[in-house]
Structure 1
Amino acid sequence: MATGTEPRAVAAGGVHHSSRAAIPERHLRRDRWWLAPAATAAGLLAFVVYSTWRAFAGDHYYAAPYVSPFYSPCLAENCVPMKGGADWGVVGAWWGLSPALLVLIFPLGFRLTCYYYRKAYYRGFWAAPAACAVPEPHARYTGETRFPLILQNIHRYFFYFAVIVAGILTYDTALGFRNADGEWGHMGLGTLVLLANIALIWAYTLSCHSCRHIVGGRLRNFSRHPVRYRLWGWVSRLNARHMQLAWASLISVAVADFYVYLIASGAFDDPRFF
């Protein structure tokens, strides 16, 4: 007779519980199931290594008129002067720490708690699970109900900060239509790099599940809210490409930062089209 405790017992024991089918093989997959989580882990690890280096470097993040997305808005008082840009220096030097460490917490928090990135690093690093039909090595499963994973629920609040940061990066991109002297009506290769980056960042941000819920959630009848229904439809189409946009924007922000780094360090001059 069922006692009502079986589901809880199975959850505690996971796939290793005695109620599960006993087969000698760990799983029955014969394809290269490990390739996808391995590639995901490698891609995320590469970005973590690069972004950590650039965040702690504290230099070569501004080459007039371009500013690295890793350092914008530059909130520290020790920020380099940015010709024609906004003066965001409102926080102390913080013992010489890199200005990027004051702002990266917001886009980083948004991505770390993102639904897709959760799937990516859960599978890539924690093997929870590594792939479909492949049992995870953990003996217990608690999901996101306990600390620290319960903090994933603050994703919706990081979304608001992400929108603010995207707005500031849009302003920085507009400043890219100037020359080194601050005169408008010019465009260089860096302008196109920043344009591509901000377009992908907005697409990724607006494709967020939280954004989809904000524009169309908690409605009983779409017909009474035609504007929100239209917005919900647009966001839903973007949401279907959330994974691709997550990777594309992750790559583009690294490329934009590296391009500014090359210009600022004097590796080459930014080609100007007009």
Structure 2
Amino acid sequence: MTSTDHTDRGETTEPGDRAAPGSGPARTRVALDRRTLRTDRWWVPPLLTTLGLATFVVYATVRSFMREGYWDAENHYLTPFYSPCLSESCVPGSSHFGTPIGELPGFIPLAFLSLPFLLGFRLTCYYYRKAYYRSVWFAPPACGVAEPHARYTGETRLPLIVQNAHRYFFYAAVLITVINTYDAVLAFGGERGVGIGLGNIVLLVNVFFLWCYTLSCHSCRHVTGGRLKHFSKNPIRYRIWTQVSKLNVRHMQFAWITLGTLVLTDLYVWLVSTGTITDLRIVN
């Protein structure tokens, strides 16, 4: 096969290319004038991911700064977007841990202590990295589709080097999930005394999936079973690691489910606290 034959097939050779003895010129990558040869709608998954993440970010941002509809005093429902509420700016009853912080200006969310850690936990999550790397940064947007970036430095420089702090955000997320659980338990005792309403079920479902998402985290898997040389010598940690690994398989599903449960929980508390709808009482 001659050099001309390679050129006709779209292959190019460079003067410095070496060929094995007895063979033709060394082959290099095929020169393409298109970004991809894929004919399917490869752009649909990245687009849907972008729309889903953007919808949650916009909703959560607006609700975090509204400062209304986050506490239902009658049923003791507190939205997770405002937990914990530690400022004197919080409405009476919504501060389950007191108000050690004074009045806050309107441009600071009332849950400013927890929201940055939750945001950091989500942004550095292994699944969310995959999601926004492909859908927002196009690195790459799909298999077989070249990314637009001319240079790749990975997670070795700012801002992506912050991804290595994921395990520390995990510890904070566990604490905040405990607080959300505490809020859900307190909601069983409203002004009418101990009772159960639809809001209690909504809060519990949200907390349940928050725990599933948090405990299915790759960092949790490492904490429970990482750096063990012999599982046989650590049967308890091995058992915990096994259960966490089962959750880890569904980490992507829990990531999306919790975005939905957070929005639905906040929306329900908002509508009930403003009197738009009435909480459906099951007991008392």
**TM-score relative to the length of structure 2:** 0.86
Which amino acid is 1:88 matched to?
A: G
Structure with more helix by fraction? 1
2:44 aligned to which of 32, 35, 58: 35
Q: Which residue of 1 aligns with 2:142?
A: 131
Paired residue for 1:159? 170
The answer to whether the 8 A contact 1:58-1:100 is kept is: no
1:48 aligns with 2:57: yes
Aligned to 1:101, the other structure's residue is in SS state coil
1:232 aligned partner, one-letter code: W
> Match of 2:244, as an amino acid?
V
Instruction: Give the C-alpha shift of residue 98 in structure 1.
Output: 3.0
Per-residue CA shift, 1:229-256, capped at 9, x if unaligned? 0001000000000000000011101111
The structure showing larger relative contact order (alpha-carbon pairs under 8 Å, at least 6 residues apart) is: 1
Change (3 A) 1:88 1:134: farther
How far residue 28 of structure 1 moved from its aligned partner, in angstroms, is 1.7
- Counterpart CA distance in 1 for 2:117 and 2:35 is 40
Judge conservation of contact 2:85–2:96 (CA < 8 Å) in 1: no
Aligned equivalent of 2:100, options 84, 90, 101: 90
> In structure 1, what is the Cα distance between the partners aligned to 2:140 and 2:175?
34
- Superimposed CA distance per residue, residues 133-156 of structure 1 (whole angstroms, 9 cap, x where no aligned partner): 111011111111101110011010
Q: Deviations over 1:98-142 (max 9, x none)?
A: 303332112111101101011111111111111111110111111
Q: Deviation of residue 20 (structure 1)?
A: 4.2
Q: Does 1:67 align with 2:78?
A: yes
Equivalent of 2:231, from 213, 222, 226? Answer: 222
Unaligned runs of 5+ in 2: 1-27
Structure-2 residue corresponding to 1:258: 267
- The question of 1:237 aligning with 2:261 is answered no
CA distance in 2, matches of 1:257, 1:73: 14
Specify whether residues 94 and 74 from structure 1 end up closer, same or farther in structure 2 by C-alpha distance, changes over 3 A only.
same
Offset from partner CA, 1:8-53 (integer Å, 9 cap, x none): xxxxxxxxxxx64312221121111111000000000000110010
1:41-90 Cα deviation digits (max 9, x unpaired): 0000000110010011111100031000001111222111117x623322
* Matches of 1:134 and 1:120, distance apart in 2: 16
| Secondary structure, counterpart of 1:138 in structure 2 | coil
Of residues 108, 130, 147, the one that matches 2:158 is: 147
Task: Give, in whole Å, the separation in 2 of the partners of 1:202 and 1:45.
Answer: 23
* Aligned counterparts of 1:190 and 1:230: Cα–Cα separation in 2: 35
What value does the CA root-mean-square deviation take over the aligned residues? 1.3
Secondary structure in 2 matching 1:166: helix
TM-score normalised by L of structure 1: 0.89
State the one-letter code of the partner of 1:169: N
Distance 1:134 1:86, change over 3 A: same
